Chain A
Amino acid sequence: MTTLTAPPKTAPPPAGHRSPSGVSKWRRRIPLLPALIFTIVVTQLPFVATLVISTFQWNILRPGDRHFTGLSNYAFVFTDERLRAAVLNTVVLTASVVLISVLLGLGLAMLLDRRFIGRGLARTLLIAPFLVMPVAASLLWKHAIYNPDYGLLNGTLNAVYRLFGASNGPTVDWISSYPMPAVVVSLVWQWTPFMMLILLAGLQSQPGDVLEAARMDGAGAMATFRYITLPHLRQYLELGILLGTIYVVQTFDAVYTITQGGPGSQTTNLPYEIYLTMFRKYEYGQAAAAGVVVVLGSIVIATFALRTIASLFREEVSR
């Protein structure tokens, strides 16, 4: 994080004075070196290994046929029709989950920002979905809610139809008919609390005197929200969107559990496609290359995220 904060305004010390202090600095750092080396070994070497593997033609089911192929795996990654579809699915999935959960989270945060009896309980209950393990949440949605035979959705539909005298409602096969929305809704359910928490923190940090002044000036609720609250929330919204994006891009559990990437490859996102390449095709080289591309993409997003966080902290400090 320190690298991203603004550079110090003071001029660097003249070069001539550096070497003695540099030596003593390094002497002081020696006890820390094992930790540094350990960190590099466990965090960076696997990635270097991945980079190396990504230049090999390597299928573990064909022993003895491992050889260097240069960048052909990357060529495959960028030309493969399935991978391109997976990229598109990842974008659709991530964008819709993040945007919908930000909007819902904003609404819930606004409601929770008011004082009412049982607010603490309501807040705890609203956070709950975020604390459920992703696999457990996916299983819950797949079986308890979407299942056409005994799921909650069709059960409710049937009950409503029966209210109006029909013997049975329609049997909707939610997952097969609406695969992408099915995954998106379950993820929105998980991520809305996260967005709500961040935005609630933003709302509660709003200075009361500014709001009071707005009221005195005769601004309505809508105008206050539009011209005062929203600008104040901007950075919290950005933070929520970027952090959410980083995590939702990596979604695997929901896709694996609810739709298995199907029907066809309509919900196959990048992590699931890489999983298939790794554990069904056993093409280590291709999987590694696809992984590297995803990592590079994530770095781009993460850089923006870190900048936002950094700017957030700068503002807090300057305030």
Chain B
Amino acid sequence: MRGPSAMPSTRYTLVTGVAALAVLATGCAGAGGGGSDSGAKSINVLMVGNPQMEDIAKLTKDTFTKDTGIKVNFTILPENELRDKVTQDIATKAGQYDVATIGAYEVPVWEKSGWLHELGSYADKDKSFDEADLLKPMVQSLSGSDGKLYALPFYGESSFLMYNKDVMKAKGITVPERPTWQQIADIAAKVDGAEPGMKGICLRGLAGWGELGAPLTSVVNTFGGTWFTKDWKAQVNSPAFKKATNFYVDLVKKHGESGAAQAGFTECLNAMSQKKVAMWYDATSAAGSLEDPASSKIAGHVGYAYAPTVETKSSGWLWSWAWAMPKTTKKADAASKFMLWASSKKYEQLVGEKLGWARVPAGKRASTYDIPQYQKAAGSFGDLTLKSIEGADPANPGVQPRPTVGIQYVAIPEFQDLGTKVTQEISAAIAGKTTVDKALDDGQKLAEEVAKNYQK
């Protein structure tokens, strides 16, 4: 007999299977290899499978383990599987992992559930860590309601506008450094079809709170909308939210990438680097890939501008992948040593020297942007990235006070579900299967249900 359903259970077995294999493999390596290191001095780390994480998995053995004698067993999973796995592990208190990478969305939610170890005191004790160097919005988004730090940032990002400089030049258009959304819509109309098959702009249309939900919410913020008011009144079908969503959907429908309802971050990165679109509004961390000549046809020809605004001063989002320690760990000291090292200046230097400066996990420390080698490697986008992150205000990203801290999401457990369902409907509106008004009226009902859990 099957469990709740066919697929989740096979997925889950697959994930646990992979994890078990990884544990087994590293266990064997330990038994065969050193033999001298004591069992207590090894920690299990669960990470998302991004390039920066693969780098640290490669570098740890010859540096961190050599210096401290602490063996680190890494498990690397794709983002969705990681979320499933880490949520299960922490929420059920299985205690398999001593360190896990989580994002800015999870920190406040999990801190409130009492799942995370406080990390500020470890950071304070380590003078070389230089806590004051961490960018303020990062610290803010990774702190709990008590003001203490619950995760250490590994790298961070905001959002900005990327554009094809050649196309703009050919059309005689200057993209302002701080554009408004209206200006961007006008430019998108002008550059649509500038080259055969080229569209004006790429904006994510793929359903998901972390896909379409992220850029859309940043647009909603700057149009004056919000998901919830400070006293938890749902605002999903309020005039500002509707205006913003209609603008977004119209822009994508008229001048957006082909197959927009199925296009997420990866599809847009593809479209931009293969010259299928002239502009792209998305994460600052995308710039590194766009400037890589091995995969991008427009490397060296990309211009950058701040996230477009309407009513707010800035509108870039804020995200970071950060190290957190579940409360269930029995190796807090060893785990904290690893986290402090992985987020340190020393580690950034190490990556720069061993793997190249463009691969430094940036966006979390002010000092990164003073390193001459990094300035050279990230010349065209580094400065704008730093300023976008510094300009982001996770506590106050719109025109009205918010009930939770966070820009492109609402930091409550229900948002994964709410955001996914509402963006599904908006994605359908982009595909022309429903209207924005209908999508948001339905979304309002879902949001009102969620709000009931918080209203006093």
On A, residues with C-beta under 8 Å from B are: 43-44, 46-47, 49-50, 59-63, 82, 142, 147-149, 168, 171, 173, 175-177, 179, 250, 252-253, 256, 259-266, 270-272, 274-276, 278-282, 287-288, 290-292, 294-295
Contact = CB atoms under 8 A, between A and B. Distances in A.
Contacts of A63: 91, 113-115
A43 B424 CA distance: 36
A252 B8 CA distance: 9
B435 to A, nearest CB: 11
Contacts, number: 150
B91 A173 contact: no
Contact of A281 (B4, B416, B428, B439): B416
A281 B8 contact: no
23 contacts: A47-B3, A60-B91, A148-B258, A148-B259, A173-B260, A175-B261, A175-B262, A179-B433, A259-B262, A260-B208, A262-B207, A262-B427, A262-B428, A263-B261, A264-B433, A265-B424, A265-B428, A274-B5, A278-B5, A281-B416, A290-B4, A290-B5, A291-B5
Contacts of A271: 5-7
B433 A266 contact: yes
B434 interface: yes
B8 A149 contact: no
Contacts of B6: 250, 252, 271
Contact of A149 (B207, B208, B259, B431): B259
Contacts of B262: 142, 175-176, 259-260
A287 B5 contact: yes
A184 to B, nearest CB: 17
Contact of B413 (A49, A59, A275): A59
B109 to A, nearest CB: 7
B1 A47 contact: yes
B417 interface: yes
Interface in B407-455: 413-414, 416-417, 420-421, 424-425, 427-428, 430-434, 439
Contacts of B84: 279
B5 A294 contact: yes
A175 B259 contact: yes
A39 B54 CA distance: 41
B91 A46 contact: no
Interface in B256-306: 258-262, 271, 276
Nearest to A171: B258
Contacts of B258: 148-149, 171, 173
Contact of B4 (A60, A142, A171, A291): A291
A262 B127 CA distance: 51
Interface in B90-104: 91-92
A202 to B, nearest CB: 28
A233 B92 CA distance: 53
Contacts of A59: 413
Given A61-B109, A271-B5, A262 B416 contact: no
B420 A280 contact: yes
A43 B1 CA distance: 6
Nearest to B90: A60
For chain B, give the interface size range: 35 or more
Contact of A47 (B2, B115, B261): B2
A26 B45 CA distance: 51
A38 B151 CA distance: 43
Given A264-B434, A288-B4, 12 more contacts: A44-B1, A61-B413, A149-B276, A176-B431, A264-B425, A266-B433, A270-B5, A278-B8, A279-B83, A282-B87, A290-B4, A292-B4
B220 interface: no
Interface in B186-242: 196-197, 206-208
Contacts of A256: 7
A295 B1 contact: yes
Interface in B149-184: none
B2 A261 contact: no
A287 B431 contact: no
A256 B11 CA distance: 12
Nearest to B439: A264
Q: Which of B207, B259, B425 has the most C-beta atoms of chain A within 10 angstroms of its own C-beta? A: B259
B161 to A, nearest CB: 22
Interface in B1-37: 1-8, 11
B128 interface: no
A171 B197 CA distance: 9
Contact of A176 (B7, B11, B432): B432
A256 B207 CA distance: 12
Contacts of A46: 1-3
Given A276-B420, A280-B417, A282-B413, A264 B428 contact: yes
A182 B207 CA distance: 18
Nearest to B264: A260
A264 B416 contact: no
B197 A260 contact: no
A112 B262 CA distance: 39
Given A149-B258, A260-B207, A262-B424, A275 B431 contact: no
B88 interface: yes
A175 B267 CA distance: 14
A266 to B, nearest CB: 6
A148 B277 CA distance: 14
